[in-house]
Structure 1
């Protein structure tokens, strides 16, 4: 696998030798001083260019990066463009996700000077790599503060508790109907997600809301106490309904423990009535 220096040398040299490129900057985890370094990190690169069409029409300018073994483009069906609502305005910005045969990955985009000035493709994780025309903004050192866990309002806390127990009723219904796809998808999309929101608030409350849990909460193991993380692991069931029901019990236990602590930190009351409503529903439908 090529080293980080080798990759950056190629990225910068490619920009330097192409007259269409005005500047280039780094985004993402490699620009984040708080992220542990490893060989799996993407190189999130944006080139500021005179126009985007020629880059889309002929992608041979990517050849110096190496042999691509898997690629996804912004306008691919079911791809990241659809997920993030980016399937438009290709004359202003366009991007590619590239995986190379040595295991390195570059997520690279091109944007016009006007688009760069608008700042729609960047945040505070911004690190200039090359600026041939002096067009890049002078910004403070990169920081991930935009992604810190935010302290919830009481309304948000109550809403999270309500959604957790309300959506768990649908999961129970799916199990009773033997509708595994519905039950499992609902479980992860709604109540399990609400648990993760609550766990994020717990981490925030212990760190004065000054850390990020990372994309898809990938730093939970780093920030959660070991006993809490071990319980969290048990909330991931397999396709066995017996194991699924056990996971739901653990889910409810962990959610309640975390929610009570967050309620105390916010100076509000844990909504017992939501939990009791779920328990009564479960008992009523399971006794039929």
Structure 2
């Protein structure tokens, strides 16, 4: 039996789709379709299918057997587009994301900046029985809205949100809810920090500079000083280290947010920052109370 490869997986899906009228189009996106940061030996395969009934593929796994032997499969929301995908780990360690969108979603995809941005980076159309996907892909760069800097209210909300949760994290530590505190500090607050880091980067390098989505390629697009600072922002599951991570995250956020506010000519909430930081220090100096 031939060794399974990504190309044989693609060929298997296309053969299955050839005799299935419910599958109207399929395309490859992501690293295996783009030239910027192309696929390497660790890259997965992102296959998007336009179908009449996504549930038929999302809620059933029998069709996977027509493509190759798999060991793991589960459902997850797509990174962009608001859809669902079936993620699969095939033999040879090949991981594939099969995203299924209904035909009725095409008009929405044509207007959604996130999937348009994915298409604009590169698409490989496998087949298009109705010709609609090919047209969408060709128009994606033209339909993609011009990039915009976050508005003043969005920045203000992120800053207030961050300091509110800094106090909440400190209360959780002091109460003995260490895992919850660590989650707030190392997940929720880091998400807010990333918003500001991304904005700061665009202010420094230009609005069109690509900061990708989520934490993708952070080490490539962020400046070296920022990447280095992140080494001290996460803690282990131990009280004093969570305090350390919280304090370091607060300091770096303050530095980043102030820089963003100066460059965008926005008011930085010094009073709110000082009050929240004072509460954190007060909680830090207290004795731990039993849960």
Residue number among 4, 13, 16 corresponding to 2:15 in the alignment: 13
**C-alpha distance in 1, partners of 2:228/2:107?**
46
**CA distance 1:133–1:141, change in 2 (3 Å):** closer
TM-score by length of 2: 0.78
Question: Counterpart of 1:14 in 2: which secondary structure?
Answer: helix
Unaligned runs of 5+ in 1: 74-78, 87-93
Structure 2 equivalent of residue 134 of structure 1: 131
**C-alpha distance in 2, partners of 1:53/1:167?**
38
**CA distance 1:178–1:146, change in 2 (3 Å):** farther
Of 238-247 and 276-285, deviating more is 276-285
Deviations along 1:76-135, one digit per CA (max 9) or x if unpaired, are xxx549xx986xxxxxxx752211011112222445544445548992234321123434
Of 265-274 and 12-21, deviating more is 12-21
Matched, 1:153 2:155: no
Deviations along 1:119-162, one digit per CA (max 9) or x if unpaired, are 4899223432112343434133766x969985122222222221
Residue number among 96, 99, 110 corresponding to 1:106 in the alignment: 96
Shift of 1:168: 0.5
**C-alpha distance in 2, partners of 1:216/1:147?**
19
**C-alpha distance in 1, partners of 2:189/2:102?**
42
Residue number among 65, 69, 79 corresponding to 2:67 in the alignment: 65
**CA distance 1:60–1:244, change in 2 (3 Å):** closer
Structure 2 equivalent of residue 41 of structure 1: 43
**C-alpha distance in 2, partners of 1:244/1:149?**
36
**CA distance 1:142–1:44, change in 2 (3 Å):** farther
In 1, are the aligned partners of 2:12 and 2:66 still within 8 Å (CA)? yes
**C-alpha distance in 2, partners of 1:54/1:172?**
47
In 2, are the aligned partners of 1:161 and 1:274 still within 8 Å (CA)? no
Structure 1 equivalent of residue 24 of structure 2: 22
Structure 2 equivalent of residue 123 of structure 1: 115
Of 107-116 and 171-180, deviating more is 107-116
Shift of 1:167: 0.9
**C-alpha distance in 2, partners of 1:258/1:158?**
13
Q: CA RMSD in A?
A: 3.3
Matched, 1:233 2:225: no
Q: Give the structure with the larger helix fraction.
A: 2
Structure 2 equivalent of residue 272 of structure 1: 270
**CA distance 1:111–1:181, change in 2 (3 Å):** closer
- After TM superposition, list the pairs within 5 Å mapping 1:77-226 onto structure 2: 79-80=76-77, 95-116=85-106, 119=109, 123-124=115-116, 125-126=118-119, 127=123, 128-139=125-136, 140=138, 150-226=148-224
How many aligned residue pairs are there? Answer: 273
Question: Counterpart of 1:34 in 2: which secondary structure?
Answer: coil
Shift of 1:24: 1.7
**C-alpha distance in 2, partners of 1:60/1:101?**
16
In 2, are the aligned partners of 1:149 and 1:200 still within 8 Å (CA)? no
**CA distance 1:95–1:221, change in 2 (3 Å):** closer
Question: Counterpart of 1:244 in 2: which secondary structure?
Answer: helix
In 1, are the aligned partners of 2:147 and 2:208 still within 8 Å (CA)? yes
